[in-house]
């Protein structure tokens, strides 16, 4: 046997047991409770989607699925916890356009790499943002809101789930495109923003639609427009920002599942297949649509490519909006 054939045979012999071991582990998986880390506060869109998916995973896998909220620093704390978790499939992370789209460009030094430190599982949902105002704000349309801001530069404030969140950059884009000025107040998640825009501590916000949807419907706050290209089916009477007054405006959020890098591929594939199954369930599709979200799904490879494209897109937005790096 020549040297090259010997080496090839050796590599095949060495790797075959490892592949078989990974496949065996995937067959037995999960062997204990699964933890879905949510890097934001409870009651926000990330949390809601994680609980919807987690409940169905638990029913299918026969193991508890625990949602572990680890908010702070615009999702960086919880994301770091997930990156350093044991890569055995029992800890996964619900990522967002913030953690895996914006933060790589917003923060000079992150303790994790959005691409290298994670194994993508599946995109879960796309969600439009909504521009809402406290009922005391004298604006019932985007045009009136712009006029009010121009008449009161820097006198109003708006809240978002954090510096560099999609809501923050969506409003910064809005300010840039409308030549208006409004002060930013960052929070540690959507729950505080929602409470304060209802209470009048802040005048406005642009944030993920789901937590605000019920409050807009009962009239506790006023929804002026959504940030997506098209109107949302759950609130078809609310226009888009683009059609209202700001041609070309478009922004939104997305959510997906990843595992720590090094998680065996057969386990990633098993989680991906389970996620696709869950997203196609009629009651889940109805629940997700009721949030104003669109269930997406897809393969790990597709999600990996999507994350890379989102990092490039938001890097451009951060630069053009002159957002201060953290």
pLDDT tens-digit series, residues 55-88: 999 999 999 999 999 998 889 999 999 999 999 9
| DSSP-derived pairing of the beta strands 204-208 and 157-160 | parallel
What whole-number distance in Å separates Cα of residue 321 and Cα of residue 257? 28
Q: Where are the domains of the chain?
A: 31-127+253-320, 129-244
Where does the chain show beta strands of DSSP type E? Answer: 34-38, 65-69, 91-96, 118-127, 129-133, 157-160, 183-186, 204-208, 222-226, 253-260, 294-295
Burial class (CB in 10 A: 0-12, 13-18, 19+), 313: middle
Report the candidate in 206, 215, 217, 246 with the shortest Cα–Cα distance to residue 229. 246
Per-residue confidence (pLDDT) for residue 22, from 0 to 100 = 58
95 vs 291, more confident:
95
Per-residue confidence (pLDDT) for residue 45, from 0 to 100 = 86
Segment 183-211 mean pLDDT: 94
Specify the pTM: 0.78
Strands of 294-295's sheet, edge to edge?
A: 65-69, 34-38, 91-96, 253-260, 118-127, 294-295
Per-residue confidence (pLDDT) for residue 4, from 0 to 100 = 56
Per-residue confidence (pLDDT) for residue 250, from 0 to 100 = 85
Per-residue confidence (pLDDT) for residue 293, from 0 to 100 = 87
Topology adopted by domain 31-127+253-320: D-Maltodextrin-Binding Protein; domain 2 (3.40.190)
Segment 88-111 mean pLDDT: 94
Question: Which CATH homologous superfamily contains domain 129-244?
Answer: Periplasmic binding protein-like II (3.40.190.10)
Report the candidate in 240, 262, 237 with the shortest Cα–Cα distance to residue 249. 240
Q: Identify the band that residue 13 occupies on the pLDDT scale cut at 50, 70 and 90.
A: low
First to last CA, the chain: 59
SS3 277: helix
Share of the chain above pLDDT 70, in %: 91
What whole-number distance in Å separates Cα of residue 47 and Cα of residue 161? 13
Per-residue confidence (pLDDT) for residue 303, from 0 to 100 = 97
| DSSP-derived pairing of the beta strands 91-96 and 129-133 | unpaired
pLDDT in tens, 283-298: 999 999 888 888 999 9
What whole-number distance in Å separates Cα of residue 167 and Cα of residue 309? 19
Q: Identify the band that residue 9 occupies on the pLDDT scale cut at 50, 70 and 90.
A: low
**How far lies 320's CA from each of 163, 310, 314, 316, 323, in Å?**
16, 15, 10, 6, 8
DSSP bridge partners of 138: none
What whole-number distance in Å separates Cα of residue 130 and Cα of residue 192? 16
Segment 253-271 mean pLDDT: 97
CB atoms within 10 A of CB 8: 12
Q: Are both 31-127+253-320 and 129-244 of the same fold? A: yes
């Amino acid at each position: 046997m020549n040297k090259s054939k010997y080496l090839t045979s050796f590599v095949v012999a060495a790797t075959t047991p490892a592949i078989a071991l990974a496949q065996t582990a995937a067959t037995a998986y999960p062997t204990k409770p699964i933890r879905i880390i949510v890097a934001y506060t409870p009651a926000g869109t990330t949390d809601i989607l994680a609980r919807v998916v987690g409940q169905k995973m638990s029913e299918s896998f026969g193991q508890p699925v625990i949602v572990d909220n680890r908010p702070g620093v615009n999702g960086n704390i919880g994301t770091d916890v997930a990156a350093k978790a044991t890569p055995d499939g029992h800890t996964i992370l619900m990522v967002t356009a913030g953690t895996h789209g914006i933060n790589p460009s917003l923060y000079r030094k992150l303790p994790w790499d959005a691409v290298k430190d994670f194994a993508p599982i599946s995109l879960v949902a796309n969600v439009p943002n909504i521009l809402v105002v406290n009922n005391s704000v004298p604006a019932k349309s985007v045009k009136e809101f712009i006029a009010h801001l121009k008449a009161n530069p820097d006198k109003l404030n708006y809240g978002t789930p954090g510096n560099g969140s999609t809501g923050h950059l969506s409003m910064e884009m809005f300010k840039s495109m409308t030549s208006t000025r409004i002060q930013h107040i960052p929070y540690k998640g959507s729950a505080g923003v929602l409470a304060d825009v209802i209470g009048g501590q802040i005048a406005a916000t642009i944030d993920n639609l789901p937590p605000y949807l019920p409050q807009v419907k009962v009239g506790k706050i006023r929804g002026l427009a959504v940030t997506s290209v098209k109107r949302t089916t759950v609130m078809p009477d609310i226009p888009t920002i683009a059609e209202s007054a700001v041609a070309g405006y478009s922004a939104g959020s997305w959510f997906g599942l990843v595992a720590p890098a090094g998680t065996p591929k057969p386990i990633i594939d098993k989680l991906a297949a389970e996620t696709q199954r869950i997203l196609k369930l009629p009651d889940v599709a109805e629940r997700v649509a009721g949030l104003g979200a669109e269930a997406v799904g897809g393969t790990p490879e597709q999600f990996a490519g999507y994350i890379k494209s989102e990092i490039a897109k938001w890097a451009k937005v951060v630069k053009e909006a002159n957002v201060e790096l953290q």
